[in-house]
């Protein structure tokens, strides 16, 4: 009985403490309410640092190697996958643009051909033109009445834009865009691999700049005409890096504007191999059989790059092609030719033969001037030849139009 009474006393004591704790919570007054301050809006702050609204929760530190692509579907991908996806998108865009250009060219050609299906003649600004090149070119027809009138620089025929050519014809704008891709290589860019954004008014020949492999001056080796240069700037058709050619190493590495490909397109042939005694098993120069009597390749000498490569039958050496092939360079005395002019026996013989021909022609002109009073029947023959040649050159000039693309 004593144990049961003791247990009931403990239970009563615990129940009392619980009731006492509950009573204290009910008797405790509530906390005072937070005072509400009313402020008027002002465009000026109170001197405190504003809270950044776009706060980001970072979990686990910075995740390197991942890229968050924002768009319609937010994605998290690796940098390699992102670059691959962007390259695929760019290729798709270029293909779509090429298809649109081709479709537009076909529509413009068909529009011109349908309009002139019977006569193939058009009247543009009072001048008559004949449709040629499947509607891409309008050849002017001279009728004797409108010969004095000048062809307009720009004309629109059936909502198709045409531009005037050098010989007074009209060429379609879409055809000019395709022809501009096959321009000759820019000498400055091919030799140095850099194009700046300057825009001069005219393309005048400039004095050659020092070699571009100098790291101290960033202005060396650049084309001052940039995107307005009328020659092609192809980054895959540039000369060899001089440092890499000499030692096989380049301080710029992948950032070098020149080429590091040791091919015959941009590297001269091994001279020891041409003599038949190259014993270097790791020779870095191409082994190509070229005749020692072959002329110097002008593209390789002036540009540092030859598109023919091993198929070229000329010598790839860094020499003046005019002096090596003909024994005379007009720019050598003026200081405008920067290429070497080595004196060889064959070159000196060519120079002597050329000088003898010049002196013989001068002596013949002096003898012919003494017989001015006597009639010569050859004058009539010469005049006939000039007329015939003039007609032929006119026909050739009509066929070979040159279009200058800005």
300 occurs within a structural domain: no
pLDDT band for position 207 (cuts 50, 70, 90): very low
- Pick from 132, 160, 180: which residue ends a domain? 180
pTM recorded for the entire structure: 0.41
Is the pLDDT assigned to residue 381 strictly greater than 60?
Answer: no
Q: Distance (Å, rounded) from C-alpha 285 to C-alpha 271? A: 9
How confident is the model over 210-229, as pLDDT tens digits?
A: 333 333 333 334 577 777 77
Cα angle 287, 280, 243 (rounded to 5 degrees) comes to: 75
> Which residue, among 272, 242, 237, 273, has the nearest Cα to 256 in the 3D structure?
242
**Residues 93 and 100 sit within 8 Å (Cβ to Cβ):** no
Is the pLDDT assigned to residue 118 strictly greater than 70?
Answer: no
Domain identity same for 172 and 101? yes
Domain identity same for 118 and 176? yes
Enclosing domain of residue 195: 183-261
Is the pLDDT assigned to residue 186 strictly greater than 50?
Answer: yes
Burial group, residue 392, by CB count within 10 angstroms (0-12, 13-18, 19+): exposed
Domain identity same for 208 and 220? yes
Q: How many domains does the chain have?
A: 2
HSE-up of 221 (CA within 13 Å, CB side)? 21
Q: Distance (Å, rounded) from C-alpha 398 to C-alpha 392? A: 10
Q: Which of 64-68, 271-275, 287-291 has the lowest average pLDDT?
A: 64-68
Secondary structure element (H or E) that encloses residue 302, with its range: helix 298-303
Q: Distance (Å, rounded) from C-alpha 260 to C-alpha 249? A: 9
Residue range 279-294: mean pLDDT, rounded: 86
Q: Is 331 helix (H, G, I), strand (E, B) or coil?
A: coil
Token pair for 317: 């050496």
Residue range 12-26: mean pLDDT, rounded: 80
254 occurs within a structural domain: yes
**Residues 208 and 223 sit within 8 Å (Cβ to Cβ):** no
- Pick from 246, 261, 276: which residue ends a domain? 261
Q: Is 53 helix (H, G, I), strand (E, B) or coil?
A: coil
- β-bridge partners, 155: 162
> Which residue, among 222, 112, 216, 203, has the nearest Cα to 160 in the 3D structure?
112
- Pick from 261, 295, 328: which residue ends a domain? 261
The DSSP string of 232-265 is B--TTS-PBPHHHHHHS--TTGGG-SSB----TT
406 occurs within a structural domain: no
Domain identity same for 119 and 157? yes
Domain identity same for 171 and 112? yes
**Residues 170 and 162 sit within 8 Å (Cβ to Cβ):** yes
How confident is the model over 238-274, as pLDDT tens digits?
A: 888 888 888 888 888 888 888 888 889 999 888 888 8
Q: Is 266 helix (H, G, I), strand (E, B) or coil?
A: coil
Q: Distance (Å, rounded) from C-alpha 188 to C-alpha 194? A: 8
**pLDDT for 183:** 66
Domain identity same for 168 and 203? no
**pLDDT for 103:** 83
**pLDDT for 389:** 36
221 occurs within a structural domain: yes
Burial group, residue 169, by CB count within 10 angstroms (0-12, 13-18, 19+): buried
């Amino acid at each position: 009985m004593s144990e049961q009474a003791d247990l009931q006393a403990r239970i009563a004591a615990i129940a009392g403490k619980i009731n006492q704790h509950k009573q204290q919570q009910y008797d405790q007054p509530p906390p005072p309410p937070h005072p509400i301050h009313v402020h008027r809006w002002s465009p000026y702050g109170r001197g405190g640092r504003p809270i950044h609204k776009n706060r980001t929760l970072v979990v686990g530190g910075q995740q390197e190697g991942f890229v968050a692509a924002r768009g319609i579907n937010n994605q998290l991908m690796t940098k390699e996958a992102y670059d691959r996806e962007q390259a695929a998108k760019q290729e798709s865009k270029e293909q779509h643009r090429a298809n649109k250009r081709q479709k537009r060219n076909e529509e413009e050609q068909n529009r011109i051909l349908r309009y002139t299906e019977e006569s193939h003649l058009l009247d543009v600004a009072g001048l008559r033109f004949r449709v040629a090149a499947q509607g891409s070119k309008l050849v002017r027809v001279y009728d004797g009445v409108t010969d004095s009138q000048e062809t307009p620089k720009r004309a629109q025929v059936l909502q198709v834009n045409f531009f005037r050519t050098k010989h007074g014809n009209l060429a379609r704008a879409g055809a000019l865009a395709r022809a501009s891709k096959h321009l000759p290589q820019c000498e400055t860019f091919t030799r140095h691999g850099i194009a700046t954004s300057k825009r001069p008014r005219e393309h005048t020949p400039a004095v050659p700049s020092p070699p571009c492999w100098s790291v101290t001056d960033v202005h060396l080796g650049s084309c001052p005409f940039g995107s307005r240069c009328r020659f092609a700037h192809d980054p895959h058709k540039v000369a060899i890096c001089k440092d890499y050619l000499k030692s096989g190493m380049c301080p710029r590495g992948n950032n070098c504007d020149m080429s590091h490909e040791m091919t015959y397109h941009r590297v001269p042939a091994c001279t020891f191999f041409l003599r038949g005694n190259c014993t270097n098993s790791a020779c870095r120069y191409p082994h190509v059989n070229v005749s020692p009597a072959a002329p110097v390749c002008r593209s390789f000498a002036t540009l540092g790059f030859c598109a023919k490569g091993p198929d070229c039958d000329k010598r790839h050496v860094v020499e003046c092609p005019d002096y090596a092939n003909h024994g005379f360079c007009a720019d050598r005395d003026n200081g405008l030719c920067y290429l070497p002019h080595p004196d060889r026996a064959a070159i000196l013989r060519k120079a002597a033969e050329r000088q003898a021909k010049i002196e013989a022609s001068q002596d013949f002109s002096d003898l012919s001037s003494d017989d001015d009073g006597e009639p010569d029947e050859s004058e009539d023959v010469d005049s006939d030849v000039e007329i015939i040649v003039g007609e032929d050159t006119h026909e050739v000039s009509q066929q070979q139009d040159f279009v200058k693309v800005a």
